[in-house]
Amino acid sequence: MKLSYISNIKLSESSGGVSGKNYATIQQLKRNFKITDYCYLNPKPDLFAKISSKLTRLLGFKGKYYFFSNHRLNKINKQFYNSKKRGDIYFFLGFTSWIHIKPDKPYYCFNDASFATYVDVYNDKTEFLSNDLERIYQKEKIWLTNAKKVFFTSKWSLEQTKKDYNLLGNNFLNIGVGGFIDLPKKDKYTSGFNFLFISREFVPKGGAVVAKAFTKVKAQHPKAQLWIVGDTPPEEILDQEGVVYKGFFNKSIQAEYAQLIKSFEQAFCLVHPTIKDTTTLVISELAYFGCPAIASNKFAIPEFVLPKKSGLLIDNPNDYFEVADKMCYMIENKKEYSQMREFTRQNAIENNTWDKVGERLLNYMK
C-alpha cells in the first residue's frame, strides 16, 4: 500500500527528540508501506499575531495562542492541498498543526501528547484567552475523532487526551516509543557511584534539586560523583565537590556521540526529577545500557520506571531530601541494585526499542 507522510520536521533532521521520532517512524513504516511522498509543511507563525500575543501578555492581559492561529492553520491547510500526494493513505506526525485539514483519504497520526496535555504541562494557561484555547481544543477533538487510528507514545498521554476532550478514544492506541541511540551488546558498567543528570533545560528538568540532593549523598558516601550532561549548570553547582560537567554532546557528530556513549556505559544511575515532561526518552536510552533511573512519579514516567525493578519513583520532584534518600538507597542496597540493572536492560530491549514500537504500529495499521 502507498503512503503519503506529512510532517513539520525536515527529513534531514534526525538528531533526537521530535526529529528523531520523525526519522524512526518513517523507517518503521517503510517495512510495510511504500512512502510515495514526504510532505514537509511548516509555515512561519503570523508575525503580527506573535507580536500581539506577546505584547498583550507582557502588559498583564491574556493573549492568543499565536502558533496555532487560524491564519497559520489555514496556510498549512493550503500547503497540504497544493502538495502532490500519491498515497492510498495519509500518516501525520503530530496532531495540532493539521486540525484545519480535512483529508480525502483514511489517515493515521502519531504523537506524544494532545494540545490540551501540552498546554497543561509546558504553558501557563492563565496567560491565554480561554476561548482561544477552546477553539484549538474543539478542532483537535474533531480531527482526532475522524482519524482511522491515533497512536500515542504512552498510555498516560492517551488517557489524558480522552479525559481532556471527553472522548471514548475507540481509535486510540498506545504503541510506546524508543530511544535514539544504538543498542549496546551488553552492560559494560564496572564500578563507581556516578549519578547522571542529563537535560537540555537544567532547572525545569530538576538540575538544581539534584545538585542539592547530591550534597547530602556526598556527605554520606564520599566516593559518589554527579555527572552532568547537556545544559550548562550555574557556576556554584560546577564548583561543588564531586560534580563533573561532561558537556553538551551532539549525537550527529561521531566524536561527541562516542563521548556520550562512554558516559552512558559507566553511569551508575540516572537522576531525573523533572517537572515538565511527557515521555522521557533518556530513561529508555540509559536503560539499554542497564542503567536504572530515579525519576518523577508523573507523566508517562511510571510506564518506563518500574519501582524497585528498573528504578525508583519520586513523589515530590521538588523535595531534594526524598531524591537524596533514593540516591543513597541505590548505593546501600547492592543486591537490589544489581538485580535492577539486569531487569532494566532486559525490559527496555524487549519492550522499548523502535523495532518493538514499529511492530505494534504496523500490526495495528494492518
What does the pLDDT look like over 191-227, one tens digit per residue? Answer: 999 999 999 889 888 999 999 999 999 999 999 999 9
pLDDT at 50: 86
Average pLDDT over residues 158-167: 98
pTM as predicted: 0.94
Multiple choice CATH, 194-351, 3.40.50.300, 2.160.10.10, 1.10.1040.50, 3.40.50.2000: 3.40.50.2000
pLDDT confidence tier of residue 47, bands split at 50, 70 and 90: confident
> Is the alpha carbon torsion for 295, 296, 298, 302 positive or negative?
positive
pLDDT at 14: 73
Alpha carbon distance 132, 312 (integer Å): 39
Would strands 311-314 and 225-230 be described as parallel, antiparallel, or unpaired?
unpaired
Runs of H (alpha helix) within the chain: 17-29, 47-58, 70-82, 115-122, 130-145, 155-165, 207-220, 235-238, 254-265, 281-287, 320-332, 334-351, 354-365
Average pLDDT over residues 168-175: 98
pLDDT confidence tier of residue 13, bands split at 50, 70 and 90: confident
pLDDT confidence tier of residue 10, bands split at 50, 70 and 90: very high
Residue 7 corresponds to which cell in the numbers above? 510532517
Residues 6+ apart with CB under 8 A from 11: 22, 23, 26, 38, 40
pLDDT at 87: 95
CB 275 within 8 A of CB 40: no
> Is the alpha carbon torsion for 310, 305, 247, 275 positive or negative?
negative
* DSSP state letters, 222-242: TT-EEEEEESPPPHHHHTSTT
Domain assignments of the chain as residue spans, ordered by start? 2-174, 194-351
Q: Can you tell me whether residue 291 is helix, strand or coil?
A: coil
DSSP state of 307: B
Q: Which of 263, 255, 309 is nearest to 282 (CA)?
A: 263
Q: Is the pLDDT of residue 66 over 90?
A: yes
CB 317 within 8 A of CB 298: yes
Do the domains 194-351 and 2-174 match in fold?
A: yes
Average pLDDT over residues 8-31: 89
pLDDT at 204: 84
Q: Which of 183, 161, 182, 184 is nearest to 172 (CA)?
A: 161
pLDDT at 15: 67
pLDDT at 53: 87
**What are the respective helix, strand and coil percentages of the chain, to the nearest 5?**
45, 15, 40
Residue that has been written with the C-alpha cell 514516567 in this structure:
301
pLDDT confidence tier of residue 336, bands split at 50, 70 and 90: very high
Give me the percent of the chain exceeding a pLDDT of 90: 88
CB 114 within 8 A of CB 147: no
Give the helix/strand (H/E) hosting 244.
Answer: strand 243-247
- Determine the CATH number of domain 2-174: 3.40.50
Alpha carbon distance 252, 57 (integer Å): 38
pLDDT at 42: 96
Q: Phi, psi at residue 91, to the nearest 5°?
A: -130, 120
**Cβ count near 335 (within 10 Å):** 7
Residue 299 corresponds to which cell in the numbers above? 507523566
Give me the percent of the chain exceeding a pLDDT of 70: 99
Q: Is the pLDDT of residue 68 over 90?
A: yes
Runs of H (alpha helix) within 100-129: 115-122
Taking only the tens place, the pLDDT of each residue in 25-37 is 999 999 999 999 9
| Residue 75 half-sphere exposure toward CB, CA atoms < 13 A | 13
Tell me which of 58 and 43 has the higher pLDDT: 43
**CA distances for 311 relative to 98, 102, 124, 290, angstroms:** 38, 44, 31, 11
